[in-house]
Amino acid sequence: MWLSFLLLLFSASLFTQKTVWKLGVNGLGVNWGTISSHPLPPSVVVNLLQANKISKVKLFDADSNVVGALAGTGIEVMVAIPNEMLEMISSSMDAANNWVHDNVTHHTFTGGVNIRYVAVGNEPFLRSYNGTFNNVTLPALLNIQKALSIANLTGQVKATVPLNADVLSNGNSTLPSGGIFRPDIHTLMLKLASFLHKNGAPFSVNIYPFLSLQQNVNFPEDFAFFEGTQHALIDGPRTYTNVFDASYDMLVTALEGIGYPNMPIIVGEVGWPTDGDMNANLDNARRFNQELVNHALSGKGTPLRPGKPIELYLFGLIDEDKKSIAPGNFERHWGIYSYDGRGKYALDLSGKGRSNFNLPKAEGVSYLPLRWCVLNPSGDMSKLAENVGYACTSADCTALTYGGSCNSIGGDGNASYAFNNYYQLNNQNKDACYFDGLGMVTTEDPSIGSCKFPVQLVPSYFDSAATTYFTHLSITITMGFATATLSFVFQF
């Protein structure tokens, strides 16, 4: 207890000295995902990034509307090749050249977009993919590297493969010092690390302490956070007080074990959701993300890399109401911002440790009229369940589930919530509030306490592009489920 108290004091005194060094390329990054029914226009999001002085952004594809909106901002950008394109790019140098031409070179003119990374695939070695991408990932990476070289971009753009922490295995030990790569992909990891090393590219890993807690009822809650713990993990001479450092150092050990003890590491995704699960709420998310940011920007490092900056991209910037919920109902609530660009809780992203610092809100957001669809109590209740079910197959009803922010609003409240989300999803089309006569439109906000009934945004041009994109990539989304379900959870 005393020790951690002293460490806190120590890190607080470091804030002032390290501020300057944090702001450049070492600043904080965020993930900008766009699997939303009504995504904010890219220009609005870019202004939001700038208002937050966010210096790095990670994308999941290379939509030219999104990438283009980052031109002239200086923000470092990671563009990405979805897993479904890996096979094509692995087998065709033309495909690799075209991808780099259209999605990198096209944007990197002087005054254009500061693209620094190409993510080749997204967690392609996830255990639950059953090896589907094992044979194509490295050849695709190789071809993209060649294409970058042909385009004379290798000095400024690095190719890497964002991996889930499930590439790690505890081996025979549950301690960070026992970290090894999963035996089934050991050779792949060896080749990957060697390739990254040769090209001066970082290793990229996603770490999710939330899932450790969510998937294991015996997981000591305080070990998921950073404030010291009753359950410190003693690993030889090192003491771990949080699962983030423990997971990070387990990766450091695994890299050391294959001969790359100093390989730079990027934490490509890390964060905490706010709804749809018992552990997903505003307080936990605020606590985790604030402590995480303070920790990363303090320059304190981890026990195996003391004093080294931790480079990370928060997951995520904005909620995404169309994400697959196969991993859990929390999946649509990872944003530090709600769908309409309002900060969900106080969060100081500067690392200066200011408490109750409110995130700036997005400017220029256009809402549909202040109208909601709710249950008409004089309707035919025998058709209620069927209609609620219908609404929830396409609308987002995740806040209604156990542990969610709208779980205790009662049966009628449930119906109203479902009807309203369906109505908003359909841009307040009056037919979308019919429900066999069970729906009615109201101008009175039906929100109940912390259960908010949303009013959607005016659809932008960008939406129609996104809609086509969902239909087109429905396979991706279905497969994307595995991202969290079977990800690595730190054993305790």
Ligand X SMILES: *[C@@H]1O[C@H](CO)[C@@H](O)[C@H](O)[C@H]1NC(C)=O
For binding to ligand X (CB under 6 A), which residues are involved? 61-63, 98-99, 102-103, 128-132, 135, 151-152, 171-172, 180, 400-402, 410-411, 414, 479
Length reported for the chain: 492
> Alpha-carbon dihedral of residues 322, 274, 27, 466, nearest 10 degrees?
10
Are the beta carbons of 307 and 299 closer than 8 angstroms? yes
- Any idea what the Cα angle at residue 11 is, between residues 7 and 14, rounded to 5°? 145
Q: Give me the amino acid identity at 348.
A: D
Both structure tokens of 3? 């020790």
Both structure tokens of 85? 């394109």
Tell me how far, at minimum, the Cβ of 16 lies from ligand X, in Å: 42
Contacts of 179 (CB under 8 A, 6+ apart): 168, 169, 170, 171, 249, 250, 251, 252, 253, 254, 257
Tell me how far, at minimum, the Cβ of 216 lies from ligand X, in Å: 22
Minimum CB distance to ligand X smaller for 68 or for 220: 68
Minimum CB distance to ligand X smaller for 132 or for 177: 132
C-alpha span between 413 and 451 (Å, rounded): 10
Both structure tokens of 454? 């949303």
Tell me how far, at minimum, the Cβ of 430 lies from ligand X, in Å: 25
Tell me how far, at minimum, the Cβ of 454 lies from ligand X, in Å: 17
- Any idea what the Cα angle at residue 44 is, between residues 39 and 49, rounded to 5°? 105
Strands 76-81 and 439-442: unpaired
C-alpha span between 289 and 249 (Å, rounded): 19
**10 Å Cβ neighbour count for 386?**
12
Tell me how far, at minimum, the Cβ of 344 lies from ligand X, in Å: 22
Question: Measured over all CA atoms, what is the biggest interatomic distance in the chain, rounded to whole angstroms?
Answer: 71
* Candidates 76, 269, 311, 331; catalytic one: 269
Strands 305-306 and 238-240: unpaired
Tell me how far, at minimum, the Cβ of 421 lies from ligand X, in Å: 13
Minimum CB distance to ligand X smaller for 99 or for 435: 99
H-type alpha helices, 24-109: 42-51, 64-69, 86-91, 93-103
Minimum CB distance to ligand X smaller for 192 or for 336: 192
311 among known catalytic residues: no
* Candidates 76, 84, 87, 123; catalytic one: 123
Minimum CB distance to ligand X smaller for 152 or for 187: 152
Minimum CB distance to ligand X smaller for 181 or for 223: 181
269 among known catalytic residues: yes
Question: Which residues are tagged catalytic?
Answer: 123, 269
